[in-house]
Amino acid sequence: MSTTTEKLQKVLARAGLGSRREMEAAIADGRVKVNGQVATLGDRIESRDRVSLDDRPVTLRAADEVPRRVIMYNKPEGELCTRKDPEGRRTVFDRLPRLKGERWIAIGRLDINTSGLLLFTTDGELANRLMHPSTQIEREYAVRVMGEVNLDQVKAMVEGVMLDDGPARFTDVQEFGGEGINTWFHVVIMEGRNREVRRLWESQGLTVSRLKRVRYGNIFLDKRAKASEWVELSQDEIDDLAEMAGLAPRKVPELTPDEKNRWSRDKHKRRPVQAMRKPKARR
């Protein structure tokens, strides 16, 4: 780090300890200390400061010293987007590769009954930027809807409807086939509020029977990542995500000998992600 000061939560997020929002919560809960004193929200620190989280020292690193890593996970239905579940149910973190000195941070969430693409990164600032509504990142979902869908309903969801927590809309709705009352659509939305896709359809008296995220920004769900499997994004893809988030590129991560040995056994999971072609909408 340089001698200039930075926001404490930003430095903690960059250290891979969680998203900026999670670090703000940790500071508010009194879990963070700077030079032995309990930190408060709004504190700024320098590279010479001593920082701890839950009484464990934190290694401070400058932005250009921390490589970004991003993996794509194909979440099946029935898994929770939480680190631990008090009821012992399976979580998305159970199947991710283990890290030393860092941890995977989820870029957004999917509810327990939603499957598909989830991104995880070691860079809390990248996660924070990509999740923030101001970044306007497209999320594309494949949706199977029960009920007859008419043009007026589609028009209403594109123009916008008022939900309990504010206005919401799809930026695009395309029919993708199906028979009878079970029709598949692809929809695009620019934010990730709780159950927003389902609630938009419910506002039109329709029920979503299947929901799968197939794209986040310019990253499509990789066809080689079967349910409960992950693949690591290439450096070019990571740099593209960073650019969308308004961040500068970082250097390529160097694997430790232990990581090289472990990941060589999972080569098929480390190949760069290749985006699938988007299927044409039925007319």
Separation CA 198–CA 45 (nearest Å): 42
pLDDT of residue 131: 92
Encode pLDDT of 108-129 as tens digits.
999 999 999 999 999 888 998 9
Looking at per-residue pLDDT, the higher value among 3 and 160 belongs to 160
Q: 8, 44 in Cβ contact below 8 A?
A: yes
pLDDT level of residue 153 (50, 70, 90 thresholds): very high
Rounded average pLDDT over 79-102? 89
Catalytic residue status for 111: yes
pLDDT beyond 50 at 277: no
The pLDDT assigned to 273 comes to 37
pLDDT band at 269 (very low <50, low <70, confident <90, very high): very low
Tell me the average pLDDT of the chain: 86
Which percentage of the chain shows pLDDT scores above 90?
64
Domain ranges for the chain: 6-64, 70-133+218-251, 138-216
Fold of 6-64: 3.10.290
Average pLDDT in the 55-67 region? Answer: 81
Q: Which CATH superfamily is domain 138-216 in?
A: Pseudouridine synthase (3.30.2350.10)
What does the pLDDT read at residue 257? Answer: 54
78-87, 123-132, 212-221, 268-277: segment of lowest average pLDDT = 268-277
| CA 166 centroid distance within chain | 22
User: Is residue 279 pLDDT above 70, yes or no?
Assistant: no
Catalytic residue (one of 64, 85, 111, 236): 111
Q: What confidence category does residue 278 fall into, taking pLDDT thresholds of 50, 70 and 90? A: very low
Question: How would residue 62 be classed by pLDDT, with cut points 50, 70 and 90?
Answer: confident
Q: 70-133+218-251: which CATH number, 3.40.1190.20, 2.60.120.200, 3.20.10.10, 3.30.2350.10?
A: 3.30.2350.10
The per-residue pLDDT for 253 is 52
Sequential DSSP letters for the chain = --SS-EEHHHHHHHTTSS-HHHHHHHHHTT-EEETTEE--TT-EE-TTS-EEETTEE-----GGGS---EEEEEEPTT-BSSS--TT---BGGGGSPP-SS---EEES---TT-EEEEEEES-HHHHHHHHSGGG---EEEEEEEES---HHHHHHHHH-EEETTEEE--SEEEEEEEETTEEEEEEEES---TTHHHHHHHTTT-EEEEEEEEEETTEEPPTTS-TT-EEEPPHHHHHHHHHHTT----PPPPPPHHHHHHHHTTHHHHSPP-PPPPPPPP-
Query: What whole-number distance in Å separates Cα of residue 279 and Cα of residue 219?
Result: 15
| pLDDT greater than 80 at residue 169 | yes
Q: Which residues pair with 166 in a beta bridge?
A: 163
Give me the mean pLDDT over the 185-203 stretch.
95
The reply to whether domains 6-64 and 70-133+218-251 share a CATH topology is no
Q: Using 50, 70 and 90 to split pLDDT, how confident is the model at 3?
A: low
Answer whether 187's CB lies under 8 Å from 140's CB. Answer: yes
Mean pLDDT of 27-55: 94
- Is the pLDDT reported for residue 281 higher than 50? no
Predicted TM-score (pTM) of this structure:
0.74
SS3 at position 186: strand
The string of pLDDT tens digits covering residues 236-262 is 999 999 999 998 887 665 555 555 554
Average pLDDT in the 88-95 region?
93
Confidence of residue 272 (pLDDT cuts 50, 70, 90): very low
